[in-house]
Structure 1
C-alpha cells in the first residue's frame, strides 16, 4: 500500500484552482484528506511535511468525470487505473437510465449490459445503502457519486416495460427512488433512447423527477432522440425538468447521423435561450464516435461501426462491422444480430459539431467510457488529457483555466459535490499535477487502453494514487453524496 505522509507541501506549482480564475504560482499544503493552506511560494513553513517540487507543473483539482458507467467497475476493478491515470478523482455513475441499484435483477436486458456485460450477479443491491457499503468495502482508488436510473427502476417494478407505468408501478418506482435519495443518490437519470425506457412518457418521468426538488438532486437525461428529432427531444427534456422544477443536465450532447451534421448551430442557441429561464447543464466527450450496445436497429451503412465486445463471437472485438458482414456474406444488420449481445462504436458525429459543443462555456466533460468492453472506445482512457492536450493546447479551443473549470469546479457545482472540484483551504485534497506542455491522450481506436502522457501525480482524499506513470497501490476513494 502507498505510504503517503500525513502532511504534504506541494511547492511552486502553477495553480489552476478550478474556478476559472487566472493561474498563479502557489504552494499548497495538504494535511490528511483536506487542503490546509494555499499561499505564495515560500510562505508556508514546511513543518514536518514532505515537500513535492511542482516547478513547471500545473496543480489543479482532480478531474470529475460527470458521465460514466463505472457502477460495477469500482467493485470488480477497484484500482480504476483507466480513470486515475488521466487525473480523474471522482466519477458520476448511474447515467443513461442505467444504475446498479436499486433492486435484485436477474438477466437484465440491454442496455443494462453496459455496466455488467454477461455477469448475472451484478444487480444485487436492493437499496443504494447496500451498494454504498460494497463500495466502501472494495475501497476503490477514486470517489464515486450515484444517479438512479429509470430503466433500472422500471425493470424492477414493471411486468411489461414496453408500456407506460401504471399507478401501482409508478408508486413502487417513486418509493425506491425516494429511498435511494435518502441513501445519498445525487440525482435521477433517464435513457429515453433505449427500449427499456422508451415507453415512458413525460408524465411518468415528471412523477419521478419531482422527487429531486426537495433533495437538491439533478435530473440527467440521455434524450429520446439525438438524431433527426434532436430539437424535439431538447424541448421535451426542458419541459420535463420545468414541470418537475428541477435542474437538468443533457447527457453527451450530440447531433448524430450525417443528416444532422452541423445542427449544433441550432441546438446550442436553444440551450442558451433556455438557460435564461431554467437551470440547464450539458456534458460532452471529445470524440466524433459514440459507443453503446450493438443494436441491429441502429445500424446505418453510411456510418462506420466498430465492434467493442461480443459474447457470441469474442474474437470479433475491435473489428469493423462492415468487414465482418462481408466475411459472413450478410448485411450489417444481420451481422449485428449474430454478434449480439454485443457492443458497438458508432462514428456518427461531425468533428465541427464536437468542437462547437466542447467550446460552449457551460459544457462539462464526461467520458461515457464503458469499462467492461473488451475493446473499449478510447474515451475510457483518454478523455481528459485529450481535452487538455488536443483541444486546449494544440487547437486553442479554450484557455487552460477554462478547460480545467469544465472538468472540475463547473462539474462539482452542477452536481452538488461539496468541497470537491476546487483547490481552496478546507476542500478535499483531490488534486492532479500535470505538465500542461506535454499532456496528451495516447489511447486510440486501434489501441484503446494506452495510458495518457503528462500526468505527474494524482491525489485522492490526500493520498497519492498515481505517480510516475503507475498506480501506487493507494485506494482512498469513497462513496460520496451531496
Structure 2
C-alpha cells in the first residue's frame, strides 16, 4: 500500500482499512487515516502507528465532514449546542446568516418576518456582530461555523421604514456595520431582496452598503429578487453586484419556481456557466422539489400544494394544507392569510428534473436551508445529505459518490475559502464522517420530519467525536457533548482577474442535459 508521507509513531485515533473518499473528487482507495489532536497526521498504511483508539472502518466510507452551505442555524447553535439535526447527517460545518437574515447585529423584541424564522425574539440580543461571534466562541457547538452578515437585518436595525430605498445616512450606517462585521470575522454579506424588509433596496444601495466586502475580499451571497418569471434579470443583477464588489457570488438555493418556469434550469445554468468564465461564482441547492419560508400568497399561487408549518394567528393550522383550510373555514386566500399570519409554509413549487440538473451542475454545492426552530420543519433540516447519498448517488446514479462528496466537502471549502478543510490529507483538520454507502438513508418526511437518518456511523469535528451510531438502537445514534466546533476564518479569494483566467482554462461549467 502506498504511503503518503512518513508515518508518525503515535496518534490519538486511527481509522483502519477505510474506503477513503478524500473530498477532491479522486477515486476512493483503501487506506488508514491517523489523527493527532485536531489534525490528520497520516494517510496510508498506518499499521506501525500506535494509537490511543482504533476504529475498524473496513467496508465503510471515510470522508471529509460535510459542509452545509446554506443554513439558518445562527441562534440554534447557541440554544442546541449538540446540533443533532446536523451532526446526525455527517455535517461538521454550517454556513449561517443566509438570505439576508442574521441574528446580529440587532436588538429586537419583535423582529419582523422573515427574521423571526431564525427563532425566538430572545436570540436578537447582540448589538454587534462581534458579540454574537464571541458568544459562539465562549459556548461552542458541535459544528464549525462560517458566518455571513444579513443585509435585511442591517435594514431593520438602521431604518425606521423598510418599504423604501435607504437614505445616504442609512447607507453609511449600514456600511459601517458591514466594516465592523468583516473585521470581526464575517465571511461576507447575504441579501434577500425577495423578502419585505429588503424588497425596496436598490442595486446601488446593496453595492454601497457592501463596499467593505470588496475591501476585505469577502463574498456576496444572495437570495434573488425573483426565482420565478423574472429569474434571469435577478441573476443578472446579482452578477453586476459581484462585479462591482470584485468578489465571488453565491446563488442561494438556486431554483426555477412555479409551474410555468419548470425546465428553465437549462436557461439559468447556461447563463451561470457563461458568467463563471468571467467572474467567480457558485450556487447551492438541496435535493427536494419543495421549499419553505414565511407564508406569502405569491408563493401559494405558484405552488401545486402549500402546507402550513406553523401559525401564530391560528395555531391549529400547523401541518394543514392551505387550500383545505380555505374550504374548511370558508375564507378566501387574503382572509386566510390574515387569519394565519405570522406564519410559515412548505411550498411544492419545483420540478424534480430541475432539482436534479441543478444538483449535477459542476459549480453547485449542497445546503439544507432548514428552519431549525420550526415545530414541523421541512425534512431538509434533518435529511438533506443522507438523501443525496441515498437517492441521487446510490439509487438514481445522478453522480458518483466521489463527485457528491467533493461537492459536500472539498468544493464547498474551496468556494468559501476554508484552508485545510474539506479534504482527507496530511495536515488537514480532522473533520470526518464514517458511513455505510450501501445503507445510508434519510428518514425525515414532510409528514414526519423530525427523524434521524441511518447509516452515519460516526462524526468527528476537529478530532473529537460528536456523533456515534448506537448499534443496539435500531440504527439510531446520539450526539456527544464534545463542543469542539469553531468559528472559522476565511482565506481571501483570488482577485477576479485570476479567477477569470482559471475559469477560461477548464470546462468545469458544462451543463447537465
TM-score by length of 2: 0.90
1:419 aligns with 2:424: no
Q: Distance in 2 between matches of 1:142 and 1:53?
A: 24
Compare 329-338 and 70-79 and name the one that shifted more: 329-338
Q: Distance in 2 between matches of 1:324 and 1:425?
A: 57
* Other structure's SS at 2:412 match: helix
* Other structure's SS at 2:55 match: strand
The alpha carbon displacement at 1:324 in A equals 1.6
Compare 295-304 and 60-69 and name the one that shifted more: 295-304
* Other structure's SS at 1:9 match: strand
* Other structure's SS at 1:7 match: strand
* Other structure's SS at 1:299 match: helix
The alpha carbon displacement at 1:311 in A equals 1.8
The superposition leaves residues 230-267 of structure 1 with CA deviations (integer Å, 9 ceiling, x where unpaired) of: 11111111111111211101000000000100101110
Structure-2 residue corresponding to 1:343: 344
Q: Is the CA contact 1:67–1:91 (under 8 Å) kept in the aligned structure 2?
A: yes
Structure 1 counterpart of 2:29, from 3, 24, 32: 24
Structure-2 residue corresponding to 1:46: 49
Matches within 5 A, 1:263-302: 263-300=264-301
The alpha carbon displacement at 1:284 in A equals 0.5
Q: Is the CA contact 1:148–1:185 (under 8 Å) kept in the aligned structure 2?
A: yes
Structure 1 counterpart of 2:480, from 469, 472, 479: 472
Cα 1:470–1:292, aligned 2, differ >3 Å: closer, same or farther?
Answer: same
The superposition leaves residues 69-125 of structure 1 with CA deviations (integer Å, 9 ceiling, x where unpaired) of: 000000111111000100001000000000111132331110101102xx2222111
The alpha carbon displacement at 1:276 in A equals 0.5
Structure-2 residue corresponding to 1:33: 38
* Other structure's SS at 1:474 match: coil
Structure-2 residue corresponding to 1:7: 12
Q: Distance in 1 between matches of 2:118 and 2:376?
A: 15
Q: Distance in 1 between matches of 2:26 and 2:210?
A: 34
Compare 297-306 and 86-95 and name the one that shifted more: 297-306
Compare 218-227 and 151-160 and name the one that shifted more: 151-160
RMSD over aligned Cα atoms = 1.4
Q: Distance in 2 between matches of 1:431 and 1:23?
A: 15
1:56 aligns with 2:64: no
Q: Distance in 1 between matches of 2:86 and 2:333?
A: 33
Matches within 5 A, 1:356-435: 356-435=357-436
Q: Distance in 1 between matches of 2:298 and 2:443?
A: 32
Structure-1 residue corresponding to 2:504: none
Cα 1:138–1:311, aligned 2, differ >3 Å: closer, same or farther?
Answer: farther
Structure 2 gap segments, 5+ residues each: 1-9, 470-476, 491-513
* Other structure's SS at 1:383 match: helix
Q: Distance in 2 between matches of 1:480 and 1:366?
A: 18
Q: Is the CA contact 1:80–1:142 (under 8 Å) kept in the aligned structure 2?
A: yes
Query: Number of residues paired by the alignment?
Result: 474
1:81 aligns with 2:84: yes
* Other structure's SS at 1:450 match: coil
The alpha carbon displacement at 1:301 in A equals 7.0
Structure-1 residue corresponding to 2:326: 325
The alpha carbon displacement at 1:296 in A equals 3.3
Cα 1:301–1:430, aligned 2, differ >3 Å: closer, same or farther?
Answer: closer
Structure 2 counterpart of 1:99, from 99, 102, 109: 102
Q: Distance in 1 between matches of 2:478 and 2:160?
A: 48
1:197 aligns with 2:198: yes
Q: Distance in 2 between matches of 1:64 and 1:122?
A: 24
The alpha carbon displacement at 1:290 in A equals 0.3
Matches within 5 A, 1:230-309: 230-300=231-301, 303-309=304-310
The alpha carbon displacement at 1:302 in A equals 5.1
The superposition leaves residues 447-480 of structure 1 with CA deviations (integer Å, 9 ceiling, x where unpaired) of: 1011111101000111111111222232221222
Compare 253-262 and 293-302 and name the one that shifted more: 293-302
Structure-2 residue corresponding to 1:481: 489
* Other structure's SS at 1:96 match: helix
Structure 1 gap segments, 5+ residues each: none
Q: Distance in 1 between matches of 2:466 and 2:453?
A: 15
The alpha carbon displacement at 1:6 in A equals 7.2
Q: Is the CA contact 1:128–1:183 (under 8 Å) kept in the aligned structure 2?
A: yes
Structure-1 residue corresponding to 2:152: 151
Compare 354-363 and 417-426 and name the one that shifted more: 417-426
Give structure 1 regions of 4+ aligned residues with deviation exceeding 3 angstroms. Answer: none
TM-score by length of 1: 0.96
The superposition leaves residues 192-247 of structure 1 with CA deviations (integer Å, 9 ceiling, x where unpaired) of: 10010111111111113332123231100000000000111111111111112111
Structure-2 residue corresponding to 1:222: 223
Q: Distance in 2 between matches of 1:276 and 1:367?
A: 27
* Other structure's SS at 1:89 match: strand
Q: Distance in 1 between matches of 2:357 and 2:186?
A: 32
Structure-2 residue corresponding to 1:311: 312
Q: Is the CA contact 1:296–1:337 (under 8 Å) kept in the aligned structure 2?
A: no
